[in-house]
Amino acid sequence: MVSSLRTHLHAHYPPPWFSVAPMMEWTDNHYRTLARLISKNAWLYTEMLAAETIVYQKDNLDRFLEYSPEQHPIVLQIGGNNLENLAKATELAEPYKYDEINFNCGCPSPRVAGHGCFGARLMLDPKFVAEAMSVIAAHTDAPVSVKCRIGVDDHDSYNELCDFIYKVSSQSPTRHFIIHSRKALLNGISPAENRSIPPLKYKYFYGLLRDFPDLRFTINGGINTVDEVNAARRAGAHGVMVGRAAFQKPWHTLGHVDTAIYGAPSSGVTRRQILEKFQVYGDSAVGKYGRKPTVRDVARPLLGLFHSEPGNGVWKRKADAAFLHCTTMKSFFEETLVAIPDHVLDSPIGEPSSGGEDPFANIHTLLPPAYESREQELLYA
Residues labelled as active-site residues = 107
Is 220 annotated as ligand-binding? yes
Helix H, strand E, coil C: the string for 109-173 is: CHHHHCCCCCHHHHHHCHHHHHHHHHHHHHCCCCCEEEEEECCECCECCHHHHHHHHHHHHHCCC
Is 244 annotated as ligand-binding? yes
Is 180 annotated as ligand-binding? yes
Is 329 annotated as ligand-binding? no
Report the alpha-carbon distance of residue 351 to residue 138 in Å, rounded.
45
Is 222 annotated as ligand-binding? yes
Report the alpha-carbon distance of residue 49 to residue 28 in Å, rounded.
11
Is 279 annotated as ligand-binding? no
Is 243 annotated as ligand-binding? yes
Report the alpha-carbon distance of residue 68 to residue 295 in Å, rounded.
19
CB 236 within 8 Å of CB 245: no
Residue 336 neighbours by CB under 8 Å, 6+ apart: 315, 318, 319, 322
- Distance in angstroms between the alpha carbons of the first and the last residue of the chain: 45
Q: Which long-range contacts (CB under 8 A, 24 or more apart) does 173-176 make?
A: 173/133, 173/134, 173/137, 173/144, 174/130, 174/133, 174/137, 174/144, 174/145, 174/146, 175/143, 175/145, 175/214, 175/215, 175/216, 176/100, 176/143, 176/144, 176/145, 176/146, 176/215, 176/216, 176/217, 176/218
Q: Give the sign of the dihedral formed by CA 2, CA 4, CA 6, CA 10.
A: negative
Q: Which of 19, 8, 3, 7 is nearest to 233 (CA)?
A: 19
Residue 308 neighbours by CB under 8 Å, 6+ apart: 249, 252
Is 290 annotated as ligand-binding? no
**DSSP 8-class letter at 292:** B
**Binding residue ranges for FMN:** 22-24, 77, 147, 180, 220-222, 243-244
